[in-house]
Amino acid sequence: MIFLRRRLPLLITMITGLLFAGQYYVPHPASEWLLTSATKWLQIIGGFALVLGVTSLFHQHAVKIRRQEAGWGYSLVLYAGMLVTIAVGLWAGGKESLDGSMTAFGWIYSYMMVPLQGTMFAILAFFIASAAYRSFRARSREAAVLLIAAVIVMMGRVPLGEYLIPLSGDVSQWILNVLNASVRRAILIGVSLGTIALSLKIIFGVERSYLGGGKE
């Protein structure tokens, strides 16, 4: 049983990993066919993964409603919003517009989901301002460098800044194109090496956390 529950999954990971890492260097039609099929499969599996991701939320709020925990009324609102959207969406054939006219599903999307999500992120504008006022202090030389660079970029990327200090546009452009690019490049190289190392650890069974806990 341990073979079926533990070793076989690790073997599957190793074989698929090595196969598709090698596939990149083999431009044979059979190898290309393999890539086409596998990525097509991933598309379909991706749909199931999406459902898996959102359904854990159902469970969490269902428990809250059943036990009538504090704020269970809001969980009810969540459920109502979800069920109405699903019903309306299925009725509209999953389309936001049909023959150029907005469907009820499209209406929910445009007038509920878009403003809700947009505003949820827009309020961060206020919090970033408040955080900047409270903690953006030149406590050390490094912090002063960070502060000066931020001010130059903030000035240089808006018309008023370029109008008041014409050089700020060019200087911020140089900061982005040269100084920022060099750091981002180093980070990109470092992160990529880390990704490659992690992928190799997964393929060779050193990293196994993706299999989850549970019984062997």
Partner 1 sequence: MPQPVSVTDMDATILGAWMATGLTLFIFSFLYQDNPLFKLAEHLYVGVSVGYTIVKAYDTVIVHLIVKPIVEEGQIALLIPVAIGLLMLTRYVPRAAWMSRYAFAFIVGLGSGLAIPRTISSFVLKQVEDTIRPLLFQAGDGLTFSFNLLNPASSLNAVIILIGVSTVLFYFFFSIEHSGPGKIVARTGIVFLMIAFGAAFGYTVMARMSLLIGRLTDLIEFSDVSYGRPTWWLLMLTIAVLVLLARRVPNRPPDLH
Partner 2 sequence: MTFSERMLKIDRRIIFMVIGLCTLLPLLYPVGLPIKISPEVRNVYEYIESLPERSVFLLSIDFDPASKPELHPQAIALLRHAFRKNLRVVAMTLWVSGTGMADQLMKQVSSEMGREPGRDYVFLGWSPGGSAVIINMGQDLYTAFPSDYEGKPTRGIPVLEGVHSLKDVTYAISLGAGNPGVEAWYVYGKDKYKFELGGGCTGVIAPGLYPLLRSGQINGLIGGLRGAAEYESLIEQKGRAVAGMDAQSATHLAIIVLVAMCNLFYFSLRQQKGRG
| 3-state class (DSSP) for residue 157 | coil
Six-digit token string for 5? 């529950």
Give the interface segment with partner 2, choosing from 4-12, 42-50, 75-83, 196-204 (CB under 8 A): 42-50
AA identity, residue 65: I
Q: Which does 165 bind (CB under 5 to 8 A by kind): partner 2, partner 1, none?
A: none
| Residues 3-22 interacting with partner 2 (rule: CB under 8 A) | none
Nearer to partner 1, 29 or 208 (CB): 208
Nearer to partner 1, 29 or 194 (CB): 194
Determine the Cα–Cα distance for residues 216 and 205; give it in Å rounded to an integer: 15
Q: Which does 169 bind (CB under 5 to 8 A by kind): partner 2, partner 1, none?
A: partner 2
Give the interface segment with partner 2, choosing from 3-11, 62-70, 169-177, 200-208 (CB under 8 A): 169-177
| 3-state class (DSSP) for residue 31 | helix
Q: Which does 32 bind (CB under 5 to 8 A by kind): partner 1, partner 2, none?
A: partner 2
User: How far apart are CB 101 and partner 2 at their closest, in Å?
Assistant: 10
Figure out which of the listed residues 21, 80, 129, 211 binds partner 2, where binding follows CB under 8 A: 129
Which of 8, 7, 2, 10 minimizes the C-alpha distance to 207?
10
User: How far apart are CB 198 and partner 2 at their closest, in Å?
Assistant: 16
Determine the Cα–Cα distance for residues 172 and 28; give it in Å rounded to an integer: 48
Six-digit token string for 164? 């008041």
The residue count of the chain comes to: 216
81 is a site residue for partner 2 (CB under 8 A): no
Determine the Cα–Cα distance for residues 207 and 28; give it in Å rounded to an integer: 31
Which of 76, 110, 78, 77 minimizes the C-alpha distance to 92?
110
Which of 85, 94, 73 minimizes the C-alpha distance to 113?
85
Q: Which residues bind partner 2 (CB under 8 A)?
A: 24, 32, 35-36, 39-40, 42-47, 49-50, 95-97, 100, 106, 109-110, 113-118, 120-122, 125-126, 128-130, 132-134, 136-138, 147, 150-151, 154-155, 157-163, 169, 173, 176-177, 180-181, 184-185, 187-188
